[in-house]
Each structure stands twice: as C-alpha cells, then as structure tokens.
Amino acid sequence: MTAEKMLDLVNKVGLLVSEKPKALGLFHICWLAGTVLAILLALMFYDKKILRVSYIVTAVVMIVGEIYKQFILSFNDTGEFIYQWYYFPMQFCSTPIYTFTLCAILGKGKLYDWLSVYNGTYCLFAGLTVLAMPSTVYSNYLGVCIQSMLHHVLMVIVGAIALKTYAKNLSVKLFLGAFGVFLFFFAIAEILNFAIPVLTSQSVNMYFISKGMDLDMPILSHVKKAFPYPIFVSMYAIVYTEIAIGISYLFFKIANIKKKY
C-alpha cells in the first residue's frame, strides 16, 4: 500500500474532522452525563462479583482501544509509518491497561487487593482530572477522541466500583500496597523519560514530568518552572498520594458510618 493510500485509510479509520471537540462542548457534556449515569447504575446494582467482571470487560476494551489509537497516531502527515514514542502507553492514565488486565487475570490475593485500591484511588482521581479538563486528549481524529474519553470514563466507573468494594475495609497496610503500585509505574515512567530520548532521539513526557520537555498544562507547568526538577517530581508524587489518601480516608469513614434506627 502506498503512503498516500495509507494516509487516506488512517484518516477514514480515525474519523478525521476539521475541528477537534472543545471542553464543555456537546461532545464533552454527553460523556460527563454518561459517566454519572453509568456510576449510579453500577452502584445501584452493585454486588461482589461486579468488580471482577468489570476488570475483564474493561481490560479488553482498553487494550483494543489502545491498539486502535497507536495505529492512528503512528503515521505522519504523508502516510509514512514513524512510531511516535510520545504516545507510548505509560502515562498515568495508561496504567489501568496494565492494572485492570492483571486484576482480570489474577485470583484474589494481596496483589489483587493492592491493584484494586490503586484503581479506586490514584486511577479514579486521574480519570476524573482528565474528564474535567479533556483538552489534552482531544485531537482532529474523532475516533481517537472517542477512544480517549471511553478509556477515562471506564477508569472512573471501575475505580468507583473498586472503591465501593474496598472502602469499608481500607487500612494503612492496604493503602501502602496501592502506594507501592503507584511508585512502581512512576519509576518506570521516569526511566522512560530519560531513556527514550537517548535511544530514539524523540522527546517524551511520561506522567508529564519529563525534565527535557515543556508543559502546557494548568498548575503543573507553573510548578515545574517554579521549583528545581527533583523537587517538582517529588511534589507531583506527594500531592497525588495525599489526594489518594484523602479519597481513601473519606470513603472509609462514609462506609463505616453506623446507621441509627
């Protein structure tokens, strides 16, 4: 297939549009409304089996969606295949591809519990952040926009189910396991931030903490400019962990409120 035909195929499969969706536009609002409705339905009809089923279904959807996105974004404007390492799935919001898949495969156990608490705290908040400010995931490929929104919606829905499952029995020990999962992926992202530019001569920004790449994001870009790089990275990890602790503590308290009749 010629490069010209490949570009035409990519544009058709990617649903190329002249204008990308806008934050708080109809596209965005519909996804927000669908997310709220799906969470309400999932929690209304909740039972203990729903979490594992959710992992299996969403893992398949996320993997297929990621393969689709990688295909669309791996061709340049002339239709030539040039893999863009910037889009390699090791962003914060990419981690459910791995954690959900592992949970779908694993039986019950400590690792399953740690991953689930991570999904219900760190991943839940990361997904909510992107749903609130989706501009960074929007492009002129409507298909990629749909994939990105579906991915983050599933993060939030499954994260909410995981939080519901574990909220009553959350403990420091369980949270430390989730924190270990966070540190594991965080360390891999930072290694890739330094290794990929050396190996490929391409710039990457995994977790949006790369030292060599400028940020165009609210708050984060200002923090990065204001502090030395090691402090910025440490603050990033600490703030996300504080938020995850806050989510854990809040829902633990809510789940353990004694009802009086």
3-state secondary structure 39-74: HHHHHHCCCCCHHHHHHHHHHHHHHHHHHHHHHHCC
pLDDT for res 261: 43
Confidence of residue 258 (pLDDT cuts 50, 70, 90): low
Domain that holds residue 79: 21-255
Arithmetic mean of pLDDT, 207-226:
82
Domain-embedded: residue 110: yes
- Type of residue at 134: P
Report the number of distinct structural domains present in the chain: 1
115 assigned to some structural domain: yes
Residue 2 has pLDDT above 70, yes or no: yes
Residue 4 lies in a domain: no
Residue 260 lies in a domain: no
Task: Give me the percent of the chain exceeding a pLDDT of 90.
Answer: 82
**6: in domain:** no
pLDDT digits (tens, 9 = 90+) for 146-171: 999 999 999 999 999 999 999 999 99
The pair of three-digit structure tokens given for residue 199, joined into one six-digit string: 């190996």
85-117 confidence digits (pLDDT tens): 999 999 999 999 999 999 999 988 999 999 999
For 64-71, what is the mean pLDDT?
97
Q: What is the pLDDT of residues 22-47, one digit of tens each?
A: 999 999 999 999 999 999 999 888 98
Q: Is residue 152 part of a domain?
A: yes
Residue 193 lies in a domain: yes
- Write down the pTM of the prediction: 0.94
- The pLDDT, as a whole number, for residue 259 is 57
Alpha helices, DSSP H, located in 201-228: 220-226
d(CA 214, CA 12): 32
In a domain, 162, yes or no: yes
Mean pLDDT value across the chain: 93
